[in-house]
Every structure is written in structure tokens, then in C-alpha cells.
Amino acid sequence: MTKIQSFPPIEPTSARILILGSMPGKASLRAQQYYAHPRNAFWPIMAELLGFSANIPYPERTQALQAAGVGLWDVLHSCERESSLDSDIKAESMAPNDFNAWFQRHPQTRAVFCNGGTAFNAWRKHVQVQLAPAWQALPVIQLPSTSPAHAAMSREEKALRWRVLLEYLPDSV
């Protein structure tokens, strides 16, 4: 097994929502960019929802998220996994990021969105129980995974389901 670590968060000055993956895949780890796999639907969906081009350079995409009040991170700080598949994560190796520190830095966060079932389940098992009571009450919403491995749903259907995050971003399109 290979031990891997997640990236630092993308942190807007005033985070209204926080989107969480589980752990970057191999393409993302190589590129040192969130959702770097060319078939991952995350950036096209966010571009559609927030009104920017998915083809702009990575730093500009992350700036567009920040300008909209969107934080981006992974539930896990580290884990052991051989492939890019979430199903290959060794359960006993999961170590979460420090979300109490996130919420102290971003008390205006209104909701947490999990990109797929693994992120949602890891949040419930490893994070939510460790949060201060005020943060345990935040809405935590599981969205369909944007991963190309989740091919049972079209990108268009995923984008429709992801629109719910706009309810927590009053200044969005």
C-alpha cells in the first residue's frame, strides 16, 4: 500500500460553502491540482454553475471558486491506497483533515457538500463526531461523484444535482 496525502485547502476569504472530496486520485497527485483527471466533471460543473470557463488555467479556476465563496478540500488528510479508486482506500488508514480549525477560520460556512459517497461516509465516521457542537449542526449534503468512475450518471444529470449548492451562495448566478 502507498500512503498518500491530500492538498492544502482552497480557502476563500469568506467561505460560504465547503466542497469535500475524499482523496486526490493519481492524476491529481501528479499535477498537484484538485480534480486534474481530464474526464472528471468537477471543473465543467463548477464552471457551468458559477459562470466561468472550465478551460481557463487552474489558478484562475481556483480564484473563481474563491470569488464565489466556495472552499475546496478533502475529508482525508492521508490514507493508504494503491489505485485512484476510493474503494481501494484502506479503511484503517484514514486520517481526517482538521475541520475544527477550518470552521474557526471560516465561521460563516453555511453548508458542507461531499463529492460522492466515500467523502460523505468518511465525513460522518471520522469528522462529524469530532466537531464542536455548533459545527455538527451544519447541513452536510452528499452529491453525486464527479469522478469518471461514477459513469452511471451523465454529466448533465450530475450538474442538475449539484445546482443545490447555489442555494447557499446568494451572490451566484
CATH code for the structural domain at 3-167: 3.40.470.10
- The catalytic residues are 40
Q: What is the DSSP letter of 10?
A: B
The C-alpha cell that represents 8 in the structure block: 492544502
Question: In this predicted model, what pLDDT tens digit does every residue of 139-163 receive, in sequence order?
Answer: 999 999 998 876 788 999 999 999 9
The predicted pLDDT at position 152 comes to: 82
Residues whose CB falls within 8 Å of the CB of residue 169, separated by 6 or more in sequence, listed in order: 16, 17, 68, 69, 70
pTM of the model: 0.92
pLDDT one-digit tens code per residue, 84-112: 555 555 667 667 899 999 999 999 999 99
